[in-house]
Homo-oligomer: A and B are copies of this chain.
Amino acid sequence: MQILIINPNTTASMTAKIGASARSVANPGTEVTTVNPDKGPVSIEGFYDEAFAVPGLIEEIRKGEAQGYDGYIVACFDDPGLTAARTITDRPVVGICEAAIHMATLVALRLCIITTMQRSVAGAEELIRRYGVTDRCRMRWIEASVLDIETPGTDVADQLRSEVQKTVREDNAEAVLLGCAGMADLAGALTQEFGLPVIDGVAAAVKLAEAMIGLGLKTSKVGGYGAQLAKVYTGDFAKYQPGS
C-alpha cells in the first residue's frame, strides 16, 4: 500500500518531521512518501496562505495519480484544498484535522483543539462546524508561529502543557487535538503526562487512510466530488486544466 503525504507548505524540515511521525505509526506493508510543493508559502497560517498552498498541493496529487498511489494525506491542520483534491482522484484523500476529529470522537465525548495562535481560532471553528462537533469541541491556543514550533528551544511545549491542563479542568475536555502538523512529535509525551488522548492529526490520518484503502473505499464520483468537468484553463494555470 502506497500513501502519499503532502505537506502543503514548502518547508522541507516540516515535511521531514511529518514523515517521521507518519512512518512511526504506519503498517509494515505501508510505504509512506512525503512531499511538499515547490511553490507557495513556507507555512500556512490563515486563509491567504491556504489559497496559495492549494495549487501546489493539487499538483502533487496529480503527480501522485500518475504514479499510482493508493491514497493521499493533506498534512496541514486547516485541511486546505481537501474538497478540490477529492475531485481529481477516486482514491481516499484525508485531512489531518478531520482525521483527528473522527478519531477523537471514537474515544471521547468532549474535545479541545489547541491551535498555534489566537488569529487561527475563527478559521478552525469553521472546520469544527463542518465536521459536526460544534457542540462538543472547544478551541484553545498558544502563541507561536508554525515555524517557531519547528525551532528548538522555544517554550511551545510548555505553552501546550499549560493549555492541556486548563482544558481538562475548565472545559471538561476528554481528548486534546494538536492543531498543527508541526506539533506531531509532542503528542506521545503529552498523552503520557496527562493520561488522556492527545492526538496528532498526521498519525491519525495515516491510520485512517490505511483503513480506507484496506476497505477499498473510493471517493464518491456522484455529486460534489465528481470528476471535474472538461473545460479550458487559461494563462499560467493552463497546465492544471482538467484532463490536461
Residues of chain A touching chain B, judged by Cβ–Cβ distance below 8 Å, are 10, 25, 27-29, 37-43, 45-52, 54-56, 58, 81, 83-84, 86-88, 92, 94, 98, 102-103, 105-110, 118-123, 125-126, 129-136, 145, 147, 168, 172-175, 195-197, 199, 203-204, 207-208, 210-212, 214-226, 228-229, 231-238, 240-242
Q: Flag if B51 contacts A212 (CB, 8 Å).
A: no
Q: How many subunits of this chain does the assembly comprise?
A: 6
Q: Give the CA-CA distance A132 to B236 in the complex, in Å.
A: 36
A40 nearest in chain B by CB position: B237
A10-B232, A42-B234 given; 14 more Cβ-contact pairs under 8 Å: A38-B234, A42-B233, A47-B84, A48-B242, A54-B54, A102-B102, A103-B215, A118-B172, A121-B224, A126-B130, A129-B135, A147-B231, A196-B220, A204-B215
Give me 14 A-to-B residue pairs in the complex whose CB atoms sit less than 8 angstroms apart, sorted by A's number: A27-B27, A37-B235, A40-B235, A46-B87, A48-B84, A56-B237, A103-B211, A107-B225, A108-B219, A108-B220, A129-B130, A196-B220, A199-B217, A208-B208
